[in-house]
Amino acid sequence: MTSNKDDLTPIIEKICTISTIGLFLTGVQICNRIYRMRTTGDISGFPFVATMVNCTLWFLYGYSANNSTIMIVNFIGASLEFVYALVYLQYTPDRNSYLRLIGMALAFLAAISFYLLYIVSDRSTAILHAGLVASVVTVIMYGSPLVSLQEVIQKQSTESLSLPLCFANLVVPAEWVLYGILISDKFVQVPNFLGAILGFIQVSLFFKYPRNSGLLPKATNLGAV
């Protein structure tokens, strides 16, 4: 007789897989915009490389922990982000700098992969080290939007944020937290819990600073001066 936990786990696995891949596919819209403009403009290419690194690290963790769900999702994510990075490389006016960024990312991943696959002989140690590295990088990635959130608070406007994307950044990590609880995996639970908190903060800003408040910051700032 199976428990409710055993029945729920494969359902949450499918939900996490589909929603996360959907989140990764938002890069298609950005690349389409770059293609139409024939230039990267003010679009940053760093998130593509950073997400590729993050996904690859989680793929290595999934491989070490023998978790096919984590492996599949992050293999697809890393592949998509690598394609996005190549599109960005094609149209960026500063190809040399971006090429160096990609090269450093690949060198870092090669070093981590070599360490986990050939240096560490104990499986439990490989799981621990892969989980720690992936979690730290994920927390750093989740913390990077704090700069844009500071700008939103200063301007008292959410014009620079996308509500659907912010909502996805709340829901998807929350799903992975639930999945981490079901499989009793702290490495899945903790970084995604922090990501869900950040997503909640982003969504809450839309209630505090509605889109129609875009003209208020100038008057407020002038008054303060």
pTM of the predicted protein model:
0.86
The full length of the chain comes to 225
pLDDT bucket at 146, cuts 50 / 70 / 90: low
Q: 92: helix, coil or strand?
A: coil
8 A C-beta contact, residue 210 and residue 169: no
Q: Determine whether 29 is exposed, middle or buried from the number of CB atoms within 10 Å of its CB (0-12, 13-18, 19+).
A: exposed
Phi, psi of 180, deg, nearest 5: -60, -35
**Closest by Cα among 14, 44, 13, 29 to 165:** 29
Q: Which residues of 59-95 are buried (b: 16+ CB within 10 A; e: fewer)?
A: bbbbbbbebebbbebbbbbbebbbebbebbbebbeee
Query: Tell me: the pLDDT tens digits for 46-88?
Result: 989 999 999 999 999 999 999 999 999 999 999 999 999 999 9
Q: Which long-range contacts (CB under 8 A, 24 or more apart) does 23-27 make?
A: 23/168, 23/169, 23/172, 24/51, 24/76, 24/77, 24/80, 24/81, 25/80, 26/165, 26/168, 27/80, 27/81, 27/84
* pLDDT at site 145: 65
Higher pLDDT, 162 or 30: 30
Residue in the block written with tokens 């006016």? 93
Give the torsion sign (CA, 189, 191, 193, 196): negative
Q: Measured in Å, how far apart are the chain's first and last C-alpha atoms?
A: 70
Higher pLDDT, 90 or 221: 90
CA 140/CA 130 separation, integer angstroms:
16
Measured N-to-C along each axis, helices 68-91 and 26-37 cross at an angle, to the nearest 10 degrees, of: 10
Q: 96: helix, coil or strand?
A: helix
* pLDDT at site 216: 36
Asked if pLDDT for residue 2 goes beyond 70, the answer is no
pLDDT bucket at 147, cuts 50 / 70 / 90: low
